[in-house]
Amino acid sequence: MSARIDEIISRLTTRQKIGQLLILGWQGETDEDNVTVSEHARLLVEDFEVGGVVLLGRNIGAPEQTARTMNELQERSKIPVFIIADQEGGMVARLRAPAYVVFPSNMALGATGDPEYAYKAARATAEQLLATGINFDFAPCVDVNNNPLNPIIGTRSYGDNPEIVSRFAQAAIRGFHDGGVPTSVKHFPGHGDTSVDSHLALPVVDFPMERLEAMELVPFLAAIEAGVASIMTTHIIFPALDPELPATMSPRILTGLLREKMGWQGLIVTDCLAMDGVAVKWGTAKAALAALKAGADCPLICHTLSRQQEAHALISAAVESGELPMERVDQSVRRVLELKERFGLLEPAKLADPAKTASVAGAPEYRALALEIARKAVTVIKNERGILPARVEPGSKVLVVSTHRALPDLTEAIRRIHPNTDSLAVDTSTPAIEPGSDVRLIIAATCPNEPWTAGTDQEGQARMVKQLNSLGLPLVVLAIREPYDIRRFPEVETYLCSFGYREESLQAAAEVILGVTQPTGQLPVRLG
């Protein structure tokens, strides 16, 4: 035990101890309680004296300004705070392009077949985070995505093989930690085989313990072996483990399984307790207290101030009454402080240098690495007519068709190689698509449902592809996220996947389609 940490704990009040356990966020300009950003953020570090703050995209702007804001938070804190982001890469990135370099998704990394890319991407991400004043990353996602209908994980997973996911996860953990940033693998004990989004409802994963041990739990054991900094829980019921409570609130899962059986004695962070998976039935405050009693250390509440105040009050009352023993609180406070000490985050606080932030965030070597990964990831799944690589005469027209918002970026990527390229944005209800008599190649981009949005009309997309396929023109279908789309139109003969629709992934796909580069990607999931 650290004498320094003993000394810190000895001088903390009960309120300060509870504050150290909380990881809280604030809204954009104002939250639904009509509290301004500056006031809400100030309350978190000065009134709550939180152990950590979590940033969403709404909280992150230009690199220099973000660094100044993060420095101000640290300067206002008596004990340096964890400043946390979900910077997974791919579709989950709080630091956004083009100011920051966002690396391809975990599934893209899995498609490269080389865990060293996971290490390099994680280390470069860590360096960008630290330059911006962010010192903790809720990543990587180590869920094994073996359900093609999973609405929330998908490309956030390295693949559907637990051993491969484990190897990539261990490499990423080393990369983050070597870059100076602690990590939290997620979502324990596994969110990969669900068809329900826990942001919106409470999923149930009804598998026997033998299956969980052989699949879902494998990457978490690997993460523990790799020395991961923390583990994030999920709001899912696993009847084989606990038929009544989601993992986040379950003593059987957090204490019985994770701590006692799997030997994890480090930090346990909950997924956001404002998510409907727990908030609708139990309420955010009750879920926070239940999570602490179950064995978690840090309840995460991304919004709002009223929910955060209610949770703090309920936890305080439970400590005062003895329902939540002080010894239990001290255990979790120690884990928080030990992790801060391990990564050099205790007094004095490490501050970012705003003058250097922009150059680090958008460093050319990071952009080059992102493009290299994207090129290695592109996977040709079907090429039955030998259309790829497409040889299009300079005077012949290429038509890019999609319902997705990435259409302009994909068109531009194709046009940089073949200038005679047009695009056609279609509605999935369009009765007929007329490509024009001068078109010699059609590229159709498809994408499954978008998380946290109203989603995409997948059946409509399938109709679009089938209609294009019936025209008799050479057709290339590009999946710009997961590769599962092909199951809706198996008759398509030319199909590839980029595992993402950020600039680098679209450029890499364009290069493969038009023969600039050779595809080397390996499919990281099964389609059957």
Which of the residues are catalytic?
199, 271
The pair of three-digit structure tokens given for residue 415, joined into one six-digit string = 């046009």
Contact by Cβ (8 Å): 53, 73:
yes
Q: How many angstroms separate the CA atoms of 226 and 242, rounded?
A: 28
Contact by Cβ (8 Å): 521, 479:
no
The pair of three-digit structure tokens given for residue 401, joined into one six-digit string = 């068709």
3-state secondary structure string across 448-515: CCCCCCCCCCHHHHHHHHHHHHCCCCCEEEEECCCHHHHHHCCCCCEEEECCCCCHHHHHHHHHHHCC
The pair of three-digit structure tokens given for residue 510, joined into one six-digit string = 């364009």
| Residue partners of 14: CB distance under 8 A and separation at least 6 | 316, 319, 320, 326, 329
Quickly count: other Cβ atoms within 10 Å of residue 383's Cβ: 15
Question: Phi, psi (5° rounding) for residue 166?
Answer: -60, -45
The pair of three-digit structure tokens given for residue 160, joined into one six-digit string = 């559907």
Q: How many angstroms separate the CA atoms of 168 and 185, rounded?
A: 12
Q: How many angstroms separate the CA atoms of 328 and 295, rounded?
A: 9
Contact by Cβ (8 Å): 66, 132:
yes
Q: Which of 509, 527, 403 is nearest to 455 (CA)?
A: 403
Q: Which of 144, 225, 129 is nearest to 186 (CA)?
A: 144
**153 CA to centre of own chain:** 8
DSSP letter for 282, please: H
Q: Which of 438, 390, 446 is nearest to 418 (CA)?
A: 390
Quickly count: other Cβ atoms within 10 Å of residue 171's Cβ: 24
Contact by Cβ (8 Å): 82, 54:
no
Q: Is 426 helix (H, G, I), strand (E, B) or coil?
A: coil
Q: How many angstroms separate the CA atoms of 490 and 397, rounded?
A: 26
